[in-house]
Amino acid sequence: MFVRTENFRTFTRLYPIITALTVIHIVLWLFIALSFPFSNLFYQTTVGFNFAVEQGEWWRLITPIFLHGSLTHLLFNSISLILFGPGLERILGKVKFLALYFAGGIIANIATFLLKPSMYVHLGASGAIFALFGIYIYMVFFRPEHISSSNAQIVIVILGVSLVMSLLGGGMRNINGTAHLFGFLSGFALSPIFVGRGNYTRSLRDIFPRGMTQRRSGSSSQNVVWIILIALVILGILSQF
């Protein structure tokens, strides 16, 4: 589910929403980073800024989803979207996936507006991406027919690392842990609407059985995927946005 084997042309054909979002991320970051004409004005009027939202600039609850503050920030969110988005775009379909993505990002930004200081400034797609983790966690336990145990292990470990480091490191590294947390919660809460209620549940014991290290699923290729994903999470969360 999370290992990409498609070539570029096949990927763009199968996952047009993921492709479009990633292109928008890259184009807007280059537009601002390379200081094109009016790029500074564009940044100043679209970045998340709680005081401006208080003054009625409500579009700032949406536009920060497309912006990134550094190359590392851009790469982390875009690669996360490319790794974790396709499975959901296939399961949900294009319209539902896009609805979930924006709902998670907007709810995360609303939480940031309500819980962060008036002069707080923020940007990034992290809230929307954590909404994807939210629906994955729901499927792990309540719609297990959509996600295998080995992929469920990856989701749980990556989410655990991400949330812990977001909440513990936010004060030092300008990480918007509020957006991460509420993005995840929104994705989880909205999951029954998007994937429905299942007929049976799966427990942690089913996902992490005793003696799992002796199972064939613990192959070297699977271990490489784990290492890469965890490294990406740590790199992205610890980067100064």
Active-site amino acid positions: 126, 180
Selection from 12, 123, 11, 134 nearest residue 77 by Cα: 123
| The pair of three-digit structure tokens given for residue 81, joined into one six-digit string | 């979207």
User: How many secondary structure helices (H) and strands (E) does the chain include?
Assistant: 11, 2
Phi, psi of 122 (to 5 degrees): -155, 160
| The pair of three-digit structure tokens given for residue 143, joined into one six-digit string | 């719609």
Contact partners, residue 197, CB within 8 Å, separation at least 6: 142
Report how far apart, in Å, the C-alpha atoms of 22 and of each of 59, 78, 239 are. Answer: 20, 6, 19
Strands 121-122 and 48-49: antiparallel
Does residue 40 sit in helix, strand or coil? helix
